A and B are shown apart, each in its own frame.
Chain A
């Protein structure tokens, strides 16, 4: 049973392009949402939290759609250094749960 689902990609995009990833989650009671970035053979690193009203951090914009149970990540003006795997992370159990469930990731390659 897939609880946090992402398109594995790869997404191959040219430098300067805009790219968007979606992630769906199974439990409408989920409370916390994050995007992590993981480089090959490295540890996952928190990219940004996702808030109900949507939030932006430089070239990165995260959105939450509770009605359709998905979150999205938009990357504008892609850089070569954005090449990585992006993990969608959700606390599926809601406010009473402290565990996070990680998606399997979407691989992004930014091409010169």
Chain B
């Protein structure tokens, strides 16, 4: 199921570097999300977007920025990476509609900051 594609799949980089994680989808969904997952902490929402040029902060947006370049593309940037941003990052999409709609996840990006 490659409807939600994340690149890169794995990345190791150094403290202070700028990193961009990319997400593209072929599901035709309006809503896109970025999460990080840490052991013992579960999934936490970083940013979400309901349409092109619509950007909303999630639970843990500090140190991150996003860009919704097109309906199908949503990228996450770490302007100056730090070691505690080491985590598994997921992009997700959902349809519009009232309340919470089920979200569909990409394969994830495993990011390590040294």
A→B interface (CB under 8 Å): 31-32, 34, 41-46, 49, 87, 89-91, 93-95, 97-100, 102-105
Contact = CB atoms under 8 A, between A and B. Distances in A.
Contact of A43 (B42, B45, B101, B106): B106
A43 B41 contact: no
A89 B74 CA distance: 23
B42 A102 contact: yes
A43 B31 contact: no
Contact of A45 (B40, B43, B100, B105): B105
Contacts of B42: 87, 102-105
Contacts of B88: 41
B34 interface: no
Contacts of A98: 31, 48, 50, 94, 99-101
7 contacts: A43-B105, A44-B90, A44-B105, A91-B99, A98-B31, A98-B100, A99-B58
Given A34-B102, A43-B108, A93-B100, 11 more contacts: A31-B99, A32-B100, A42-B108, A43-B105, A98-B31, A98-B99, A98-B101, A99-B45, A100-B100, A102-B43, A104-B40
